């Protein structure tokens, strides 16, 4: 079977293909010149191009569905070579601003939300991805391909900065080695040159793996899906809390290496009459005491048959104001795209439903 060229860091590729400077050239073609076949890599000798063609494929993903939401975010459903599907989302964060003469004054800003696994083992009660169970890890190249494909599909220039959030399907720290390679491949200056500080790993709180990620000192940002302030409720919502309780997560976060100017993000999925009360906000303030944190409140996004409800706006605002008034930086996630996004597996679910 052919290997996937996007799976390899430049370092590994330069050990596989001799002379080693070819790896840099291949990186340039694949990531910066958007070349999709090896025969177009004109500065490589003909026989090497043929060898590469026989041994590798470039992009393993195919776009099989695309949906634009009202806030202009675009959800993608990709198919892997073995038929499994995963979701990603392009979120335009800021629009391009042009001068009266048409020159670009401020460039558009984008965030791309990527999946790290087909399905997920963690089994959170509120999450649609969990419902389909776990199928397999994505390879580094399958993670990288989501960003490459989305950039190409939207004509986003290779040197245009994008942010990456690992908030799609799957638990990135349950696939830590492939995710680590994806981070490094994104980083490469001969490739997409997306710095670590533009990459956020979101985790359900695998404390031991948070420590492991920290030891690797990759410089990435961390987001914790907290969602509850006491272990009793958190265990019901997220069974992983039995193995790694809230205290262990907070300790892991305190030890995680992070840029002085940055904070760890705590995601708090708000569900009506479950965790939307001021008592919970109060506990959250206590919990985050001494942690360089910011809280992002997320409206629960209901799906057919979901056992939870969307909170109302006034409770959401009260919760936010309580945190801000008590010294904890807090925002409400505005992007519809992320609310209904990859995370929930909703596009995938819809497609399977329609196809069946
Ligand atoms: N497994 C990782 C990363 C993917 S999930 C994690 O859990 O952090 C990304 C986010 O989407 C999580 O914070 C998750 O709680 C949230 N999410 C899951 N189901 C959702 C729903 N129905 N509505 C809104 N957000 C949801
Ligand atoms: Fe997995 Fe995250 Fe969904 Fe939980 S919320 S089941 S960890 S994808």
Residues recognised as catalytic: 87, 344
Helix%, strand%, coil% for the chain, nearest 5: 40, 20, 40
In a domain, residue 195? The reply is yes
Question: Ligand 1: distance of its center to the CA of 167 in Å?
Answer: 7
Strands 117-119, 134-137: pairing kind? antiparallel
Q: What tokens were used for 218?
A: 């990759």
Under a CB-based contact definition with an 8 Å cutoff, are residues 210 and 249 in contact? yes
Residue located nearest, by CA, to atom 4 of ligand 2:
124
Based on the domain organization, do 26 and 155 belong to the same domain?
no
Q: Which ligand is nearest to the CA of 339?
A: 1
Integer Cα distance of 184 and 232 in angstroms: 38
Same domain, 126 and 245: yes
82 and 24 share one domain: no
User: Mutate which of 120, 207, 306 to test ligand 2's pocket (most atoms within 8 Å of Cβ)?
Assistant: 120
Task: Give the nearest ligand 2 atom to 121 CA.
Answer: 1
Regarding the beta carbon of 301 and ligand 1, being less than 6 Å apart is answered yes
Residues 140 and 272 in one domain: yes
99 falls within a domain: no
User: Do 155 and 180 fall into the same domain?
Assistant: yes
Domain count, the chain: 2
Contacts of 69 (CB under 8 A, 6+ apart): 75, 336, 337, 340
Same-domain status, 46 and 119: no
pTM: 0.94
Per-residue confidence in pLDDT tens, the chain, 356 aa: 999 999 999 999 999 998 999 999 999 999 999 899 999 999 999 999 999 999 999 999 999 999 988 878 899 999 999 999 999 999 887 777 778 888 777 777 899 999 999 999 999 999 988 888 999 999 999 999 999 999 999 999 988 889 999 999 999 999 999 999 999 999 999 999 999 999 999 999 999 999 999 999 999 999 999 999 999 999 999 999 999 999 999 999 999 998 888 999 999 999 999 999 999 999 999 999 999 999 999 999 888 888 899 999 999 999 999 999 999 999 998 766 555 544 445 555 555 554 44
Domain that holds residue 220: 62-93+108-355
Q: Tell me whether residue 101 is in a domain.
A: no
């Amino acid at each position: 079977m052919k290997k996937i060229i996007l799976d390899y860091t430049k370092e590994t590729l330069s050990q596989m293909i001799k002379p080693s400077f070819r790896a840099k050239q291949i990186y340039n073609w694949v990531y910066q010149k958007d070349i999709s076949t090896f025969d177009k890599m004109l500065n490589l000798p003909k026989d090497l191009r043929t060898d590469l063609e026989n041994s590798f494929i470039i992009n393993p993903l195919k776009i099989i569905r695309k949906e634009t939401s009202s806030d202009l975010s675009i959800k993608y459903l990709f198919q892997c070579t073995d038929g499994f599907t995963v979701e990603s989302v392009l979120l335009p964060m800021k629009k391009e601003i042009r001068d009266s003469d048409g020159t670009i004054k401020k460039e558009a800003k984008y965030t791309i939300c990527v999946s790290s696994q087909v399905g997920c083992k963690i089994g959170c009660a509120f999450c649609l991805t969990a419902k389909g169970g776990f199928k397999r890890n994505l390879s580094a190249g399958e993670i990288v391909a989501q960003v490459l494909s989305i950039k190409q599909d939207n004509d986003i220039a290779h040197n245009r900065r994008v942010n990456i959030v690992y908030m799609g399907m799957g638990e990135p720290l349950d696939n830590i080695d492939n995710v680590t390679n994806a981070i490094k491949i994104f980083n490469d200056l001969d490739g997409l040159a997306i710095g670590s500080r533009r990459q956020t790993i979101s985790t359900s709180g695998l404390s031991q793996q948070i420590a492991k990620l920290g030891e690797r000192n990759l410089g990435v940002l961390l987001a914790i899906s907290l969602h509850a302030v006491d272990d009793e409720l958190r265990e019901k919502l997220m069974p992983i809390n039995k193995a790694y309780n809230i205290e262990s997560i907070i300790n892991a976060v305190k030890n995680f290496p992070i840029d002085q100017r940055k904070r760890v993000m705590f995601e708090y999925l708000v569900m009506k009459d479950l965790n939307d009360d001021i008592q919970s906000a109060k506990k959250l303030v206590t919990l985050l005491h001494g942690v360089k944190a910011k809280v992002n409140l997320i409206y629960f996004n209901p799906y057919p048959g979901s056992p939870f409800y969307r909170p109302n706006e006034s409770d959401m605002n009260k919760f936010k104001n309580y945190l801000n008034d008590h010294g904890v930086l807090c925002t409400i996630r505005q992007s519809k795209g992320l609310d209904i996004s990859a995370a929930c597996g909703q596009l995938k679910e819809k497609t399977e439903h329609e196809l069946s």
